[in-house]
Structure 1
């Protein structure tokens, strides 16, 4: 099965699609943004591995010290995203991608692999049941979000103290976002338009550096929402998703 996969590199990036946003024109700005971000991250050890077909089948991971998340741990790899969708489910692709990451970590002498998940299935997060079945264990938690790890040497990664705050000093709807997901520009546009049309104050805070990502005051994978000073979710929002949060 390994011969069906390809790793994104400087040499093939222009020809290869990014699985999560392929043909939808409204996300093409985000695709270009993501590719620019990838070009910055590949030298830092970032891996984007995908199935060589037009489908949502891929894994993204990076050395935890260089991963844009408020999580610490010595010599770990952090999985940003493990996604197998649609007709590709049930064919062993998720396990194959995860095994590739695990073997890569062992070859590099890493201490283990970690990933953000939740006991309750959530969009954009790998299913916890699948991870537990493959040897991962819950090593830290913040509310309904859990940090899972597969340790090779007994050490454990952990959430940064600032991530446990879960509060900010403003009542305004506030969204932290980074550039590593192709869906983000369209989400930002939809939320700006909806808030502007309905007289809702909203503030966007771009997390544009590793230092900022490590210091965000909440759980963060590339997006985080605050309302009435409290952390709400890491789920990317379109207009419909925002309405649901405002109606709670």
Structure 2
């Protein structure tokens, strides 16, 4: 069921969005060569506890996961595209790291993802990350009252394909509200003028993700991490966005790191 929320309910979502943004900024600021993925997860758990928030991931067990996720943040490294399960791995110089994070505060969920390079970056990685960020901006810009959901998908796909990347349609954005994943599904490519009519009160996570050399994925032996089929690197950008009468409002807009 597709939900539409009142202006007051959207305002109530802001603390969760702000916390998710602040936490991702903090984790990015603290990540460096030698940081263990398990340390990132533990730090995120510490911040969740301090804020009185609730992780959306620990008990999460959809059909595509081998077991409950068991951690509080997704840490996808290099060829890890999505749902990276934190494990005993220390970041190396030049690693491309994607962090995907969702929590609930006072019953309202926010979900966001960032990608960045630890240490000395490769130009191709920076271009990949920048393309996901531009595609995210394009998708947000296409979220307009009276439009169609296909407008959002088409805007994302135009940026991605225009940069020369293939687009995987198996995983994409989704509705957000009281739960992390709800309707509608927001694919990362499509045709304008098609699909759901966009009305005020819709809240969705828009999340373009790309791989350098393929649009195909496989599931790692850990039962969760989705990796590029050819071993090429991946990047992921995501925001939770509310559609209002005045246009889109990014609830997980970047802020300063937590102190």
Normalised by the length of structure 1, the TM-score is 0.30
Write 1 or 2 for the structure with the bigger share of helix: 1
Higher relative contact order (CA 8 A, sep 6+): 2
Normalised by the length of structure 2, the TM-score is 0.29
